Amino acid sequence: TAAGMPSAPAPAISLAGVTKTFQSGRESFTAVGGLDLDIQAGEFFSLLGPSGCGKTTTMRMIAGFEEPTTGVVRLDGTDVTDVAPNHRDVNMVFQSYALFPHLSVADNVAFGLKRKRVGKAETDRRVTEMLELVELGDQAKRKPSQLSGGQRQRVALARALVNQPRALLLDEPLAALDLKLRQAMQMELKRIQRDIGITFIYVTHDQGEALTMSDRIAVMNGGYVEQLGTPAEIYERPATRFVAEFIGTSNLLTGTAAATTSEGTDVRLDCGQHVRIAERLSEGTSVDITVRPEKIQLSTEPPDASMSRVRGTVTDTVYLGSSTHYTVLIGSDTATGTEIVVFQQNDRDLSAADAIAGRGSEVWLSWRPTHS
């Protein structure tokens, strides 16, 4: 930048054209096909995707445990592609947290500082502060074997954070915990990250986890990023069919554009019914429509013609207290029809809602055209 011009701060972590191909004998396998990512300082950033999509490999390249085949890794604007892991200002927390069993909680956390020859008073101060942060102030003298899984995970977190890294890399750190503890720890991690304000990069295959905690998510598939955005953007506006199917529950309707109108396109679904979509497509284009179950309204009366709407038969209902999940078959029979899942909140008079939608009822399903 020109002298005197304020320049935007460099991203905390930046990957430019990064690929990774593994060679075993004469076989080669491309785990990461080409990544361009800028992660800002203080962001809670998640890499989300199914097993084998390249999340861990990406993380290991950021940490320096794996060398990219091509491309550049930068930390705060500095090229670190050839810098050893221990000279990068990042720390990694693994799923198997590998605490030293013979050391107390406090000594586990102090380990890295002792190795760096940080003085005793400073070490004690920082260890105490970190144990307070992860709410283990009263467990300092215990051994790892005397702790619960969640507590051990928090010790591992404190041990990584005590080094005051610029960024913390977490690879499925909660995978070993049961559901309840995992959900509690998700909140804890988010709070800790907010309190200390350092960059977190989080690897997970659990979409709920990524949606709950992240500022932004990169959804990965087969070594590439399918979509990058905030949790709401990714959930509300999945860019690809893969993202729509991977995140949350969604219904997929397939069809063909039949006619273009001033308001969008009339689509003939494979089951024979017609729906409107807001996008304008030329006639004959094949169309995939994805609709989230909670965006669909179920009714016995025909909905307003401005809505996308189809008719069907209720084949199953599951009452879940605050909501009811309906399965509705659209099309004439199970062989050619499509089953659509609808989540309705039970915030109205339940007996009325129940009465309209027992098994076998004929119903209308409708959603705003922009939701598809």
Rounded least distance, CB 3 to ligand ATP, Å: 43
List of residues contacting ligand ATP (CB under 6 A): 22, 24, 29, 31, 49, 51-57, 205
Give the nearest distance from C-beta 83 to ligand ATP in angstroms: 20
Return the number of the residue (186 or 338) whose C-beta is nearest ligand ATP: 186
Of the pair 15, 341, the CB lying nearest ligand ATP is at 15
- DSSP state, 162? T
Give least dist CB 61 to ligand ATP, A. Answer: 10
Angle at 75 between CA 74 and CA 77, to 5 degrees: 70
Q: What angle do CA 103, 108, 109 make, to 5 degrees?
A: 155
Q: How far apart are CB 177 and ligand ATP at their closest, in Å?
A: 16
The nearer residue to ligand ATP, 29 or 100, going by C-beta atoms, is 29
Closest to 181 in 3D by CA, of 211, 142, 152, 156 = 152
Name the minimum Å distance from CB 21 to ligand ATP.
Answer: 9
* Pairwise CA distance, residues 164 & 340, whole Å: 49
Smallest separation (angstroms) from ligand ATP to the CB of 200:
17
Determine contact, residues 90/98, Cβ cutoff 8 Å: no
CB distance 18 to 71 below 8 Å: yes
Q: For ligand ATP, give the closer residue by CB, 53 or 363.
A: 53
**Which residues fall within 8 angstroms of residue 119, CB to CB, at 6 or more apart?**
none
Q: Please spell the DSSP secondary structure of 186-215, one letter per residue.
A: HHHHHHHHHHH--EEEEEES-HHHHHHH-S
Indicate the residue among 206 and 266 with the shorter CB distance to ligand ATP: 206
User: Strand (E) positions, 27-105?
Assistant: 27-39, 44-48, 70-75, 78-79, 90-93
- Residue closer to ligand ATP by CB (options 172, 338) is 172
Minimum distance, C-beta of residue 50 to ligand ATP, in the bound complex (Å): 7
Q: Is the dihedral of CA 274, 277, 281, 286 positive or negative?
A: negative
* Other CB atoms within 10 A of residue 295 CB: 18
Q: Which is nearer to ligand ATP, 35 or 363 (CB)?
A: 35
